[in-house]
Amino acid sequence: MWLKPEEVLLKNALKLWVTQKSSGYFVLQRRRGHGDSGGRCFTGRLVGALDTVLDSNARVAPFRILLQVPGSPIYSAIACGATDEEISQHWEWLEQNLLHTLSVFDNKEDIVSFVKGKIKALIAEETSSKVAEQEENPEKFREALVKFESRFNFPEPEKLITYYSCCCWKGRVPRQGWLYLSINHLCFYSFFLGKELKLRIPWVDVQKLERTSNIFMTDIIRITTQCKERDFSTFLNIDEAFRIMEQLADVTLRRLLDNEIFELDPGLQDPAQITKRDLEARAQNEYFRAFFRLPKKERLQEFLDCSLWTPFSRCHTAGRMYTSDSYVCFASKEDGCCNVLIPLLEVVTIEKMEDTSLLPNPIIISIKSKTAFQFIELQDRDTLVGNLLRRLKQVKASNAALHNSKDRDMQNSHSTCADYQFGKLGEVLPQSNGDENDKNGRHLLNAEALSSTFHHSGIDGLDFRMSREQIKESLWNDHFSEFGRTVCMFRTEKIRKLVAMGIPESLRGKLWLLFSDAMTDLHSNPGYYENLVEVSMGMCCIATEEIERDLHRSLPEHPAFQNETGIAALRRVLTAYAHRNPKIGYCQSMNILTSVLLLYAKEEEAFWLLVAVCERMLPDYFNHRVIGAQVDQSVFEELIKEQLPELAEHMKDLSTLASVSLSWFLTLFLSIMPLESAVNVVDCFFFDGIKAIFQFGLAILEANAVELCNSKDDGHALMILSRFLDHVKNEESPLPLIGNQHAFFSDDLEPCPVTEITDLIRDSYEKFGDRSVEQIEHMRYRHRIRVLQNHEETTKQNVLRVVIPDVSILPEDLEELYDLFKREHLISCYWEWNSAVVIQRHDPSRPYAEQYRIDSQQFANLFKLVSPWMCGEHTEVLAERVFRLLDTNMTSLIEFKGFASCLDIMYNGEMNEKIKLLYKLHIPPALTENDRDSQSPLKTPLLSTSRPLVIGKSSGDNIDYQKQLKQMLKDIAKEKEAKAEKELPKMCQREFIQFCKTLYSMFHEDPEENELYQAIATVTTLLLQIGEVGQRSSSSGSDEFPEGVQTEASTSEQDVVFTDNVKSPKNPQLLPISEGDWIISFKHILASLLTEQSLVNFFEKPLELKPKLENAKLAQYSFKTNGANHPSRGEPEPLSAH
């Protein structure tokens, strides 16, 4: 075990230890008297005797590791062990994680300090892990939680999941510290050699998460964000740390950036419930559902090692049992050896057998097809059987009501999944077609697969092909008799080989139902599809319009879809599914897939097959953004780089292949290969899932690798693939050769050699079939991050493309401003996850500009961070008015474009534009009757006595004529807009006073503060006189200056307005003007302000946005309050260098 470093002086000590290994900084020693040759000498015998006699508390461990600094007589013990194996593990860890790192330090003291800090951290982590495992009082975790909260000052809802001791690399220097993983952030803290390092990385900023190596370490975790890469190493358990990071990043990104998945997965809606144990359970649950391709509602209840009796091998096969709400599943330890799927609907009894030495802890599960499964070596058998019986009772009870209400309608449908079994080949097709059609409702459903209704005749070589079909059917019948013929059959490598040869036409539909477990859905929901058809047919929506448009594009070359029978069945299935799952509705490519399902299955069966494909086997493929398909495309690109490196090197931009291979995944090759060949690929897909599509795609690229590497350009490469796929034939198929309308190639090209589909499938299994479901799921985790971030980048670029032409802010500054705007929205999502408003704000299906919007409080936070108009306590009031002005749609939410346009006026607008914006902020709708206002700044004396009054002079700047010309053109355009713009309403006295307050607040702490105060006092007095004269002569209606108004005011007049003795300007008795008719126009205000050069200089001085943005990056995470409410974030928290 690791020891708290203690100094050991070896000079002149007895020879009690023997050095076994030594490196530049570490020494592994064995105590004399222990080991094979330890007791041969007198010293060894003496030491051994002493160790034996001494009390156990005083005994010394026989092995230890010392830290040695070259040239120093002092050593430090850092580890000890009771066995050679134990101490060797510690030695290997030091060699792999620390030995290469120490070479970067310049002096010995730094080395000692670094190693001791690392060892102490490992001891603390080991202790906390043991406490967590034992589920006792987790004091260490609470201690880490206190440090996490104090160091990063997050609100209380930011829940800490776990923490690790590790190193963060800054260049070539490692910084030892603590890594904290919370529900929304990855944080790192280090205080090393007097320097503090504090990192805060939101999971939503992570663009790539990978395990890699650098020049010092062979195994590090690299986290890539938009602007930086961070490397972390020397974990005690790097596998666990990376797995937790991967899961947290995936869960957070799906919760915050993928609104479609967020609504479908209830577990993601409550991040406060996420724990380390919950993440591990979620990963196991997702693997379980992916491996057995089960519905999302299934939750893994237990998984335990056991052995299953396999009659075909006459022995027990070791593996693992998985139980869920509705299933009992088994997977052998040897991949592909034997898998079993048992729906509880199939189960008759679950019984315990007598425990013997040959059959320890056995149970028997009997199913309706008179088959029994024997499991042995089950730990805690009694609890397991009790749980299974309870769930079996629940399943039977919930299913009984459905069958009792549908008994009469289900006479021809049978009552159990076991009745859907395969008898002799002559009995495969039912004979009650006409009667079943008569029993349907207003919409007659197809009772047979379309391929059995629309026969082909006159096919060359039909007799040979039918004989091949009979051979296949015979092989399958032999397999059924040995391995079972229901959904509970033993699924072995042998059945995979039969599937790769191609399923016989007569059995294809039924086997698809069994492999996908759509049969269970069909039995569990009697009459569901028929009712859905009655409800959905005749309804009109966008989905039905798209369906009608695509009906006649679905396999138009097949005779089944050249008449109304096939078209009507396709319409009913697609419309019913769109009604069942409106979040998917209808997606292009579903029509092609459904057409093929209807060829081999009854109409209702085809519907449930479509459900299985869209909701289980290809999750997230058929939605608004086809995220699932894009994730698998990204995984496919990685597989190309691993399996076909030469091709990947030649085609460095694999997006070209992605553009053509997307249809491979969406239509399962049905749209780009002859139908008789593509259905064999679908056979493999229903048996092996997406893995079959990955490996078949690799086999296609491998078969064309030489030609693709010699291709001249992307178009030539696509032509090669298109011609190859169009010439993939199935010589054994009884179907006619139907041309592929999607292939594009010229008949003038050289003839392409024919490839047999069975050979291509066999190659795919032999060369690329070694990927497990677990590996594919882990790859999906990583690539989902990249795909979602690519969508975010696309959204960002589209928004910027729209905004950039309308503002003068530099594009790079505008990009940073967008990041701040988005982060402000996400900060609210972090800790207000239970707010329905937050969910409505981010919707990826909305137009790009509307996907991220912020509310008034978020806007106020941003305004204080980046606005140049700082007004002290009055700033928040001004921010509220700006928000009301921008909220033109009255939704209480504003978009980025409005925010950027407003900020552009403040920084880059002309003086008249800035004054106009200020004017609008002090009239309705920005200013309301209930406007919240801070203490009136007018109670403060105008002239400050803390500094002398200095009148500033305008400096003569160099004239940029090109800039002047550009500005003239801009002014001309604005004049045209101004003519068309409606004249601004006039301002009343109360509004004018608020306008003055804002101006007064803006000048606070300005270098020319005194001069500005004097100027605004002059202008205010002038405007008050204008308003008074205008009130007296209101009949004139002129906007020009009245003749009787003096353009200058005396000092005494100014003091009347701005002195301590004057009461609040809100008091109507303050001024000798009644509130009723006192008004002032925008033209008057602008003209008056232009008379004071200091005011003109103030509004026209250049302002820099970039410093504000840099400051805002830090200040946005400076929390001043506890809890989930929005804190004030006006000033940045001083953070150490990142």
Is it the case that residue 1076 has pLDDT exceeding 80?
no
Q: How far is CA 810 from CA 310, 953, 966, in A?
A: 71, 30, 16
Output phi, psi for 665, to 5 deg: -80, -40
pLDDT per position as a tens digit, 98-107: 887 787 777 7
- Give the model's pLDDT for residue 963: 56
Output phi, psi for 853, to 5 deg: -135, 155
Q: What average pLDDT does the segment 855-865 reach? A: 91
Give the integer Cα–Cα distance in Å for 27 and 17: 11
Rg of the chain, C-alpha, whole Å: 38
* DSSP-based helix, strand, coil % in the chain, nearest 5: 50, 15, 35
Which of 1052 and 19 is assigned the larger pLDDT?
Answer: 19
- Give the model's pLDDT for residue 381: 92
Coil, strand or helix: which one is 217?
coil
Can you point out the beta strands (E) in 353-457? 363-367, 371-376
Is it the case that residue 982 has pLDDT exceeding 60?
yes
Give the mean pLDDT of the chain.
79
CB 251 within 8 Å of CB 276: no
pLDDT per position as a tens digit, 919-972: 999 999 898 877 666 444 443 333 333 333 333 334 444 445 455 555 655 666
Residue type, 294: L
Q: Which two tokens stand for residue 349?
A: 């009894």
Is it the case that residue 242 has pLDDT exceeding 80?
yes
Residue type, 206: V
pLDDT per position as a tens digit, 384-435: 999 999 999 999 888 775 656 555 444 444 333 334 443 333 333 333 333 3
Most confident of 26-35, 707-716, 1050-1059: 707-716
Q: Determine whether 141 is exposed, middle or buried from the number of CB atoms within 10 Å of its CB (0-12, 13-18, 19+).
A: middle
Close Cβ partners of 20 (under 8 Å, ≥ 6 residues apart): 28, 29, 30
User: Cis omega (within 30 of 0) on the bond before 925?
Assistant: yes
Is it the case that residue 1102 has pLDDT exceeding 50?
yes
Confidence of residue 662 (pLDDT cuts 50, 70, 90): confident
Q: What average pLDDT does the segment 1114-1124 reach? A: 56
Q: What average pLDDT does the segment 979-996 reach? A: 82
Confidence of residue 126 (pLDDT cuts 50, 70, 90): low
- Give the model's pLDDT for residue 613: 95
Is it the case that residue 1137 has pLDDT exceeding 80?
no
The CA-based dihedral angle spanning residues 1099, 1105, 1108, 1113, taken in that order and rounded to the nearest 10 degrees: 150
- Give the model's pLDDT for residue 220: 92
Close Cβ partners of 676 (under 8 Å, ≥ 6 residues apart): 729, 730, 733, 735, 736, 737, 738
Q: What average pLDDT does the segment 475-487 reach? A: 92
- Give the model's pLDDT for residue 84: 85
CB 338 within 8 Å of CB 308: yes
- Give the model's pLDDT for residue 960: 53
Give the integer Cα–Cα distance in Å for 669 and 992: 71
Q: Which two tokens stand for residue 586?
A: 């209808």
- Give the model's pLDDT for residue 588: 82
pLDDT per position as a tens digit, 782-801: 999 999 999 999 999 999 99
CB 753 within 8 Å of CB 218: no
How many Å from the N-terminal Cα to the C-terminal Cα in the chain?
34
Residue type, 394: Q
Close Cβ partners of 553 (under 8 Å, ≥ 6 residues apart): 591
- Give the model's pLDDT for residue 714: 80
Helix or strand holding residue 321 (H, E): strand 315-324
Helix or strand holding residue 1050 (H, E): none
- Give the model's pLDDT for residue 979: 55
pLDDT per position as a tens digit, 4-16: 887 876 654 546 7
Most confident of 192-201, 712-721, 784-793, 1051-1060: 784-793
How big is the CA angle at 415 (ends 411 and 418), to the nearest 5 degrees?
Answer: 130
Is it the case that residue 383 has pLDDT exceeding 90?
yes
Q: How far is CA 477 from CA 503, 508, 514, in A?
A: 12, 13, 15
Give the integer Cα–Cα distance in Å for 980 and 984: 12
Q: Is 405 left (phi over 0), alpha (psi -120 to 50) or beta?
A: alpha
Which of 654 and 936 is assigned the larger pLDDT?
Answer: 654
Give the integer Cα–Cα distance in Å for 882 and 750: 69
Q: Which two tokens stand for residue 1060?
A: 């301590």
pLDDT per position as a tens digit, 879-906: 999 999 999 988 889 999 999 999 999 9
Q: How far is CA 683 from CA 475, 489, 502, 780, in A?
A: 16, 17, 7, 23
Q: Is 1092 left (phi over 0), alpha (psi -120 to 50) or beta?
A: beta
- Give the model's pLDDT for residue 403: 59
- Give the model's pLDDT for residue 1040: 46
Is it the case that residue 17 has pLDDT exceeding 50?
yes
Give the integer Cα–Cα distance in Å for 641 and 1132: 45
- Give the model's pLDDT for residue 76: 85
Can you point out the beta strands (E) in 818-863? 853-854
Coil, strand or helix: which one is 1099?
helix
Give the integer Cα–Cα distance in Å for 584 and 543: 9
Percent of the chain with pLDDT over 90: 40
Q: What average pLDDT does the segment 720-731 reach? A: 90
Confidence of residue 185 (pLDDT cuts 50, 70, 90): very high
Is it the case that residue 437 has pLDDT exceeding 50?
no
Output phi, psi for 872, to 5 deg: 65, -130
Close Cβ partners of 421 (under 8 Å, ≥ 6 residues apart): 369, 485, 486
Give the integer Cα–Cα distance in Å for 1016 and 1101: 17
Which of 649 and 966 is assigned the larger pLDDT?
Answer: 649
Percent of the chain with pLDDT over 70: 77
- Give the model's pLDDT for residue 138: 62
- Give the model's pLDDT for residue 75: 84
> Strands 755-756 and 987-988, how do they pair?
unpaired
Give the integer Cα–Cα distance in Å for 480 and 943: 100
CB 294 within 8 Å of CB 517: yes
pTM of the model: 0.78
Give the integer Cα–Cα distance in Å for 1132 and 866: 12
